């Protein structure tokens, strides 16, 4: 039998195309009539904002590579130019599908449920009078039309903001007749405007700000004739570049870069589909874009702004059933979290279990006179969050508070700079991680004096310290006072904040030093077991799989007979089910009510059943270019729960699961005689549902 080359490009799915396919699955949720209507609208909006970010970061990066002549290929052997071409073709298909869903499914269903987004053709005289008053009092005072002539060159257009290009006939008061003007939709006004019930025939009627401006745009150009008014939106490169070798103050460097992101290179132009070709070409030329970068849309160009409807309509029957997150019984019996942890670890499964114990952990630490110091990493959180308030309180009363803030958390840079300043003002020590490596680990370390000894209490998580996302992202968080874990986390903080070589850890695996090698070693152990005829099994759940060495290792494990089940929400660069390579590998993606965000790794390990949770996906950037923490779940009762609910329930899901095929396409799992939803099962296990 010939040896199969496991680095054959045909064995690898392109990362960017895989990410786009995830957005297809999100759009499919918007089409699913089994889901509540307003949640379907929410999925459609999420897909739109996801696509914005994809262009801002991924397409922008590809364009940069093409611009500078890069021909470097990945394992799929596609050059940046080839990837960009394929991405453009797929993205156009996805955008067309988004608007088909909006125009042909969602609008009809909303109307059927007496929720209307009224178009101008539907305005009755009574409504028109109210719209005119609203325009004159709220909109007109903040509009600034810009006529295009030598004294008024084409304005700087903000990233992702709504604009109109206006064609005009006639001369203005100064005799100018250039014929074109630009109007920016005010960012200070809501894009979705609720119509008071007394001025319309429905209790949930809305009008888009763009429709109001369009209807009254002539008022901005008195004495001239408006011959056309067309929406457009530009998406720009939003990846910040900071030269790690040249900076001496990361905060100041980022502060200097942030304003430029609003006006960086354009990567996509969206226009209303009725915009004349000559105006579209005019805009393309102004933004230095090609025709392939033009997206004509049949509806609002800012589709994601429709999300506001979900919040404005109070119709519980059109949303997911509410629930009350679980509080572990041990905490209900004893609210002193330090007492609880001395009697055993506590593993929280968000959002099914409340994030409140994590906040309480910090609050109690901030006020407890026996607590000497608190150290924490922050990647994404709000400057006004309760987590930050607890840290500020602790610093103000004299505790040693050290906060590692990753300033370069994409799109949260500005908030994190503000956060850093507020913490420093309160007296906390603030550091910005390690230059060249994003600090992505989620860790809290509390040192408490107990008698003659100092005890370390730790929180380790798979997700961010953000109370809002903890309600919609699935994540695990471990609270423990295990001595070895505490020592490991202490060493990690010393590595990040100080200088010196990486110390050897007892229980944790960390990036960029031991996590990659550790995962490969555990995979190799399963291969060895399979070669001996012993049971061998790997189950891994994550957001993305793209690291080539791990993919090769998984292919080898499959060839050896190891049964491998992968639960991967988004990017997967591995092909399952290929004969002689990956027939023992299955890949499924769960797209449901909550964003699947847990990273859980299971290895049979000769019956020992090792379970790890991690802040890191199996991507090269996480394993080699970030500071990450991967921690074992050692108490059997707890690890059994992770296996049952965090892994096996997802493998039996037949309602929200998508199965990756050997040709790289995804097919929805077939619903059997008994529908099974992992997220619903876990909700029912942990939570009190409100009906």
Q: CA-CA distance, 243 to 256, in Å (whole number)?
A: 12
Non-local (6+) Cβ contacts of 579 within 8 A are none
The pair of three-digit structure tokens given for residue 691, joined into one six-digit string: 């009906």
Three-state secondary structure call for residue 237? coil
| Cβ neighbour number for residue 348 with a 10 Å cutoff | 25
Q: CA-CA distance, 216 to 441, in Å (whole number)?
A: 52
Residue located via tokens 């394992």: 75
Q: CA-CA distance, 547 to 551, in Å (whole number)?
A: 6
| Cβ neighbour number for residue 661 with a 10 Å cutoff | 13
> How open is the CA angle 601-47-189, to the nearest 5 degrees?
130
> How open is the CA angle 179-185-308, to the nearest 5 degrees?
145
DSSP state of 284: H
Answer whether 682's CB lies under 8 Å from 688's CB.
no
| Cβ neighbour number for residue 689 with a 10 Å cutoff | 11
Q: CA-CA distance, 224 to 220, in Å (whole number)?
A: 9
The active-site residue out of 204, 350, 440, 604 is 440
Answer whether 487's CB lies under 8 Å from 624's CB.
no
> How open is the CA angle 369-371-376, to the nearest 5 degrees?
140
Q: CA-CA distance, 63 to 114, in Å (whole number)?
A: 44
For residues 233-250, one letter each, b for 16 or more C-beta atoms within 10 angstroms of the residue's C-beta and e for the rest, the string is bbbbbbebeeeeeeeeeb
* Terminal Cα distance for the chain, rounded: 60
> What backbone torsions phi and psi does residue 29 show, to the nearest 5 degrees?
-65, -35
Cα–Cα separations (whole angstroms), residue 347 to 279, 355, 404, 529, 656:
58, 11, 23, 30, 25
Q: CA-CA distance, 106 to 38, in Å (whole number)?
A: 9
Active site residue 440: yes
Which of the residues are catalytic?
A: 440
């Amino acid at each position: 039998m010939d040896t199969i080359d496991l680095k054959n490009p045909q064995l690898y799915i392109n990362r960017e195309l895989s990410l786009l396919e995830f957005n297809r699955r999100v759009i499919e949720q918007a089409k699913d009539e089994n889901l509540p209507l307003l949640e379907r609208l929410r999925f459609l909006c999420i897909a739109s904002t996801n696509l914005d970010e994809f262009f801002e970061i991924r397409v922008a990066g590809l364009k940069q590579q093409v611009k500078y002549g890069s021909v470097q290929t990945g394992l799929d052997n596609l050059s940046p130019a080839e990837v960009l071409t394929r991405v453009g073709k797929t993205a156009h298909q996805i955008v067309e599908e988004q608007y088909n869903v909006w125009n042909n499914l969602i609008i009809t269903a909303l109307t059927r449920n007496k929720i209307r987004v009224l178009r101008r053709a539907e305005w009755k005289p009574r409504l028109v009078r109210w719209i005119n008053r609203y325009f004159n009092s709220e909109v007109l005072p903040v509009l600034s039309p810009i006529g295009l002539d030598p004294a008024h060159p084409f304005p700087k257009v903000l990233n992702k903001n709504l604009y109109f290009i206006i064609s005009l006939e006639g001369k203005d008061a100064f005799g100018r007749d250039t014929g074109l003007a630009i109007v920016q939709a005010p960012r200070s006004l809501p894009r979705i405007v609720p119509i008071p019930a007394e001025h319309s025939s429905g209790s949930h009627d809305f009008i888009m700000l763009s429709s109001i401006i369009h209807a009254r745009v002539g008022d901005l150009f008195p004495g001239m004739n408006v011959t056309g008014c067309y929406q457009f939106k530009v998406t720009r490169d939003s990846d910040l570049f900071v030269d790690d070798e040249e900076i001496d103050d990361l905060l100041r460097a980022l502060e200097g870069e942030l304003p430029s992101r609003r006006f960086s290179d354009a990567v996509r132009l969206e226009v209303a589909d009725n915009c004349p070709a000559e105006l579209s070409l005019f805009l393309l030329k102004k933004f230095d874009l090609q025709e392939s970068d033009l997206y004509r849309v049949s509806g609002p160009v800012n589709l994601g702004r429709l999300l506001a409807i979900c919040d404005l309509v109070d119709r519980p029957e059109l949303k997911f059933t509410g629930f009350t997150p679980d509080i572990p019984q041990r905490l209900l019996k004893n609210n002193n979290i330090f007492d609880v942890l001395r009697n055993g670890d506590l593993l929280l499964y968000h959002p099914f279990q409340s994030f409140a114990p994590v906040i309480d952990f910090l609050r109690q630490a901030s006020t407890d006179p026996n607590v000497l110091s608190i150290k924490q990493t922050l990647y994404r959180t709000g400057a006004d969050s309760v987590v930050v308030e607890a840290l500020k309180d602790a610093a103000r009363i004299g505790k040693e508070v050290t906060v590692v803030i990753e300033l370069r958390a994409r799109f949260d840079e500005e908030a994190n700079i503000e956060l850093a300043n507020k913490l420093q003002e309160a007296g906390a020590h603030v550091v910005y991680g390690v230059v060249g490596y994003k600090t992505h680990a989620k860790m809290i370390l509390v040192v408490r004096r107990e008698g003659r000894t100092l005890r370390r209490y730790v929180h380790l998580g798979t997700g961010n310290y953000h109370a809002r996302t903890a309600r919609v992202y699935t994540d695990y968080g471990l609270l423990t006072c295990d001595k070895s874990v505490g020592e490991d986390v202490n060493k990690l903080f010393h590595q990040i904040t100080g200088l010196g070589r990486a110390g050897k850890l007892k229980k944790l695996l960390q990036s960029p030093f031991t996590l990659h090698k550790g995962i490969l070693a555990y995979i190799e152990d399963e291969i060895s077991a399979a070669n001996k005829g012993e049971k061998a099994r790997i189950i891994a759940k994550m957001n993305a799989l793209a690291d080539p060495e791990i993919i090769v290792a998984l292919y080898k494990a499959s060839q050896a007979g190891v049964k491998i089940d992968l639960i991967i929400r988004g990017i997967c660069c591995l092909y399952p089910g290929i004969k002689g390579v990956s027939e023992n590998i299955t890949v499924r993606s769960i797209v449901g009510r909550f964003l699947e965000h847990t990273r859980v790794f299971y290895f049979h390990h000769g019956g020992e059943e090792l379970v790890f949770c991690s802040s890191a996906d199996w991507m090269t950037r996480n394993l080699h270019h970030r500071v990450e923490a991967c921690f074992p779940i050692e108490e059997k009762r707890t690890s059994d729960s992770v296996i049952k609910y965090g892994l096996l329930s997802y493998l039996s899901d037949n309602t929200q699961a998508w199965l990756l095929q050997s040709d790289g396409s995804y097919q929805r799992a077939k619903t059997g005689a008994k529908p099974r939803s992992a997220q619903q099962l876990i909700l029912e296990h942990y939570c009190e549902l409100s009906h």
